[in-house]
């Protein structure tokens, strides 16, 4: 594999990267991935305003109507870089590939966590602060349907969230839970003489992938130090994310690219940097509900 400056990851490396992301990001796991052009793309939600109409023989037809709501998904740039010994430049091709595979593995984990933190909470993953680039394009800002977390009966919280979404005409395809929420679910028992677990599949911190037939994922990115404990909704249809196809890898030999105050040549180092263009959109906020712990 050539590791010259500005080289693009090979297609198989990109595929491997995104596969790893899907396995570690709740949003990537529960929702649809769509290719995102660098200039962004428009998605449309169509709502039929009326029901179908029965028409008698020779009867007149009436207007049903529909509404169109456009949503533009614009990719934003994220990057990650790391210093390695300049021996990387002189290593055999096999050793370079091993280093790049390790970099790819680590970058996939950071990218997966970053997708959740940005789209759930609108924060810059590195600083933890609200991002002006993201603005209000995140669940905490757009989803207004909330349920107060009940540590004694979190199952009732899920039922309330489901009822709220269905009452707004939405459907439920998945749920992302914080470990604090899944632990309370796992602790629920029937009581009485049997006193068996209501959700045995969650025992001992397990992440079963589905509960009561609903696709689920357990991830601490759901809370990230905030009030959210679980997010329920139509992830399959009403949330979309994607990445621009080209993911460049840059091998930087000179200067101070990470602004650390240490010149690369002076410390016998080179800098590996990868950039990804990611975009996402919440198609219908009323198709989601957030279970929150009030007062945090």
**Tens place of pLDDT for every residue, the chain, 296 residues?**
333 445 666 677 777 777 788 778 999 999 988 777 666 666 655 566 667 667 776 666 676 666 666 677 878 889 998 888 888 888 877 777 788 888 888 888 999 999 999 999 999 999 999 999 999 999 999 999 999 999 999 999 999 999 999 999 999 999 999 999 999 999 999 988 888 999 999 999 999 999 999 999 999 999 998 999 999 999 999 999 988 766 778 888 899 999 999 999 999 998 988 888 889 999 999 999 999 998 75
Asked whether residue 241 is assigned to any structural domain, the reply reads yes
Assess if residue 2 is contained within a domain.
no
Confirm whether 134 is domain-assigned. yes
Q: How far is CA 241 from the centre of its chain?
A: 8
Question: Which residue is listed with tokens 């602004």?
Answer: 259
The pLDDT value given to residue 92: 78
Is 266 part of a structural domain of the chain? yes
Distance between CA atoms of residues 182 and 138, nearest Å:
23
Q: Quick one: tokens of 30?
A: 């529960």
Q: What is the pLDDT at residue 1? A: 36
Tokens of 60: 């007149």
Domain region containing 129: 11-48+70-292
- Interior angle at CA 241, CA 11 and CA 33, nearest 5: 55
Question: Does a structural domain hold residue 78?
Answer: yes
93: domain CATH number is 3.90.1690
Q: State the pLDDT at residue 73.
A: 80
Total Cβ atoms within 10 A of residue 213: 5
Instruction: Report if residue 129 sits inside a domain.
Output: yes
- Helix, strand or coil for residue 241? strand
Q: Is residue 58 part of a domain?
A: no
E strand or H helix that includes residue 269: strand 269-282
Give the DSSP H/E element, type plus range, for residue 13: helix 11-24
Structure-block tokens of residue 222: 């759901």
Domain count, the chain: 1
């Amino acid at each position: 594999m050539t590791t010259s400056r500005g080289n693009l990851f090979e297609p198989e490396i990109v595929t491997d990267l995104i596969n790893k992301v899907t396995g570690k990001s709740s949003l990537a796991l529960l929702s649809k991935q769509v290719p995102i052009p660098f200039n962004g793309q428009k998605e449309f939600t169509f709502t039929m305003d009326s029901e179908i109409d029965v028409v008698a023989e020779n009867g007149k037809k009436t207007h049903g109507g529909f509404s169109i709501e456009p949503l533009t998904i614009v990719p934003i740039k994220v990057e990650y870089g790391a210093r390695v010994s300049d021996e990387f430049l002189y290593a055999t091709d096999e050793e370079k590939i091993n280093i790049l595979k390790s970099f790819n593995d680590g970058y996939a984990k950071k990218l997966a966590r970053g997708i959740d933190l940005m789209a759930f909470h609108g924060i810059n993953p590195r600083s933890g602060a609200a991002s002006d680039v993201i603005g209000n394009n995140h669940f905490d800002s757009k989803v207004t349907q909330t349920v107060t977390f009940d540590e004694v009966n979190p199952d009732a919280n899920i039922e309330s969230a489901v009822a709220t979404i269905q009452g707004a005409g939405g459907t439920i395809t998945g749920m992302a839970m914080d470990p604090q929420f899944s632990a309370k679910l796992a602790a629920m028992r029937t009581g009485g003489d049997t006193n068996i677990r209501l959700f045995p599949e969650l025992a001992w911190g397990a992440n079963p992938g589905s509960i009561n037939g609903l696709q689920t994922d357990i991830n601490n990115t759901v809370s990230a130090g905030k009030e959210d404990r679980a997010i329920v909704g139509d992830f399959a249809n009403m949330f979309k994310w994607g990445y621009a196809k080209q993911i460049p890898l840059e091998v930087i030999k000179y200067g101070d690219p990470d602004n650390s105050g240490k010149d690369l040549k002076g410390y016998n180092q080179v800098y590996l940097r990868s950039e990804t263009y990611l975009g996402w959109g919440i198609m219908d906020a009323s198709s989601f509900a957030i279970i929150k712990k009030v007062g945090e």
